[in-house]
Structure 1
Amino acid sequence: MGVNQSRIAVLCNYELLPERVGGMDYFYWMFDAKCKEQGIEIDWFFPNLSNHGGYSKLNLHSSNYKNVENYFLDNYSNNQYSHVITHFIELCTPFYKKLKKRNSAKIIAIDHNPRPLSGYPLKKRLEKKTKGILYAKYIDLFVGVSEYSKDQLIKELGSFIKDRIKVVCNGLEIQKFKVKSDFSVSNKFLTASHLRKDKGIQDVIYAVAALKKESDVPFTIDVYGEGPYETDLKNLVNEFDLGNTIIFKGSISNLHEVYSEYSYLIHPSHGETFCYTVVEALLSNLPVITTNDQGNVLKLVKENNNGFLFDVGDSTKLKMILLSILNGKNTIVNGLEKEPEVLQFSLEKMVDNHIKLLQ
């Protein structure tokens, strides 16, 4: 079957939420449109249905919040697809073996999964190695969203997948970001992430609690996002009486317009595979304060150039960075020149590279 006559299936363990439109949503919409231009039809499989944004134009199938893989196997695995692509689905499970035995489609597995900072425990590492030996052979191509993701996949599953793995970085609609032009110090900071413990927002709270004992310079940190750790974070803010400084804003759909209103992004993450938030901030010319290897997984933040770096969990160092900024001793006020590395993360390039995987 030629690529221009293909029908492919894309499985995504990714809930469709109108209030949480992010980079992957825009990718799905553009990828579908570009594939249709080339005569490639896509059946999309998600846990739920939605018609917000570009989803109204996609051929959607819902598992009704049941296991997406099992739903596909039970109802569609005998269809004649040229490719089956998986996003946000656990790699190297019996699903891939069952699918390969029922369908001649090439299977492409995209890895988006963050890793724990301290690594997986021994039992989990052995389990991943075993699954790699048993099931990796049923996946035709592995795709990492960064070099870090690629290296971790090889480490976890085995060196035998080296010849079947590529890196395709995520992308964003670069042109839509409002660019920061006013670099006068406003002492307004923000964080933006899913509120999980591994995003490290608790480290910001500890840093601010300590900072308040040393400085009375006013500042605010707006927290954008929602998630399972939200209540714990709010309780911690209340415990330290920081409600006037750390303000929870919930999720918004226009962060691309909001970054430019702040002095710095703080991204204290304990683990990332790509990190949209840091790229988005830099595209907005917003300096970034983030963790050395995890938040800065793409190595785009350069110390004292377009931001500042600290080790994961080091709230004392984060406090010192914030204090030096508030005291005017160490700050970035002259604007930024976008690094060429940042500009390469365009949504168009990401879509084109994913289409090339089909060829």
Structure 2
Amino acid sequence: MDYFYWMFDAHCKERNMEVDWFFPNTENHGDYGKLNIISAEDESIESLFLKYLQENDVAYSHIITHFLEICTPFYKEAKQNTGAKIIAVDHNPRPLNGYPIKKKILKRIKGLLYSKYMDVFVGVSRYTINELKRDFGKQISPKCQVIYNGIPLETIKVREKRNMESPKFLVASHLRESKGIQDLIASVAKLSEKVKENLIIDVYGEGPFESRLLQQVKELNVLENFNFKGSSSQLHELFHNYDYLLHPTYMECFSLTLLESLAANVPVVTTAVGGNTEVISNEKNGYIFPAKNVEALKYVLTDLLTGKKSIQTNTRHLVENNFTLDLMVGEYLKLVL
């Protein structure tokens, strides 16, 4: 989201619109120095914002929230204290099997109590909009709008020629259970010795599940097939070194990682969850399999490694036409102009 924040702020300034950014911490890298950041430090963004309103003579015409819980008392207070147009953006994935019944009931009650104080519900995919309506009630439908995430294409190196005979694979993900990398490891362990003989999967990322994954590759005797490379801030320059991205996630809203991979002309093998199927078309720019289905993933890997299947399409074109940062920023500007 960094590039989005920077570009949105710059476009607002070009139109003589001032933006205050309420963040958990002060940021200094990239263009963050150009933003007027008000840092929460040890308190919540919601508490910081409401306190800031009380202590400062400031009038906001629009309030846009990202990554905050939706339909809470905060929105009522923000609306009553400012009269601003409130735009809530939902980036949050849902559990594969949905919320427990108690949480479903609580969300529906919150929708009835607080959705009237919110003017626009933005979902980053059609999936997200459907989940918002399921969470908070169909009364929010007229207020809902999809704005897809976008990425800056100029920073991403492009793979010119795909290797069909011995494809190279990467994973780029936070290492937690919901990303399903344990299923990838299990599927590789099921491959025949001949098929997995020269298979190496580079895994970029860190997280709380890393030690469990490392233990699993040892237990299943596939240590030679996985190379855990840690976190990298230069992934946009690395995707083009590979032929396929493996993304066996259980939960997703709309993944920037998928967009970056496609923009590098690297097809994606992923699950039919969240907004994945809104960007990945099976056997056209990637392969879709059911989440948690180790056998299905094994067959996809086998077909790719034996040359039975391959993607010939230039996957960058879809991103160029539909998921650029310029398009994303333009849609958000329409909400405030």
TM-score higher than 0.5 here? yes
TM-superposed CA distance for 1:52, in Å, is: 0.6
**2 CA distance for matches of 1:151 and 1:157?**
10
Work out which of the residue numbers 292, 298, 301 in structure 2 matches 1:319: 298
TM-superposed CA distance for 1:214, in Å, is: 6.3
Q: Tell me how large the CA RMSD over aligned residues is.
A: 1.8
1:248 corresponds to 2:225 = no
Q: Deviations over 1:1-34 (max 9, x none)?
A: xxxxxxxxxxxxxxxxxxxxxxx01100111111
1:84 corresponds to 2:63 = yes
**Sequence identity percentage:** 47
| Contact 1:111 1:144 (8 Å CA) reproduced | yes
Partner of 1:61: 38
1:344 corresponds to 2:318 = no
TM-superposed CA distance for 1:123, in Å, is: 0.6
Partner of 2:307: 328
Partner of 1:353: 331
Work out which of the residue numbers 84, 97, 102 in structure 2 matches 1:105: 84
1:262 corresponds to 2:246 = no
Partner of 2:8: 31
1:123 corresponds to 2:137 = no
| Contact 1:195 1:225 (8 Å CA) reproduced | yes
Secondary structure of the corresponding residue to residue 27 of structure 1: helix
Q: Deviations over 1:220-250 (max 9, x none)?
A: 1111122222222222223223332111112
**1 CA distance for matches of 2:286 and 2:83?**
49
Match of 1:290, as an amino acid? Answer: T
**1 CA distance for matches of 2:196 and 2:223?**
15
* Residue 97 to residue 263, structure 1, CA distance change in 2 (3 Å): same
TM-superposed CA distance for 1:329, in Å, is: 2.1
Aligned residues: 334
Partner of 1:176: 155
Secondary structure of the corresponding residue to residue 106 of structure 2: helix
**2 CA distance for matches of 1:295 and 1:140?**
24
Match of 1:248, as an amino acid? Answer: F
* Residue 174 to residue 341, structure 1, CA distance change in 2 (3 Å): closer
| Contact 1:187 1:220 (8 Å CA) reproduced | no
Match of 1:193, as an amino acid? Answer: S
Work out which of the residue numbers 59, 69, 72 in structure 1 matches 2:49: 72
TM-superposed CA distance for 1:61, in Å, is: 1.1
| Contact 1:186 1:263 (8 Å CA) reproduced | no
**2 CA distance for matches of 1:145 and 1:211?**
36
| Contact 1:269 1:291 (8 Å CA) reproduced | yes
Deviates most, 189-198 or 73-82: 73-82
Work out which of the residue numbers 27, 30, 40 in structure 2 matches 1:50: 27
Superposition TM-score, scaled by structure 1 size: 0.88
TM-superposed CA distance for 1:107, in Å, is: 1.1
* Residue 222 to residue 105, structure 1, CA distance change in 2 (3 Å): same
TM-superposed CA distance for 1:341, in Å, is: 6.3
Q: Which stretches in structure 1 are left out of the alignment for 5+ residues?
A: 1-23
Q: Which stretches in structure 2 are left out of the alignment for 5+ residues?
A: none
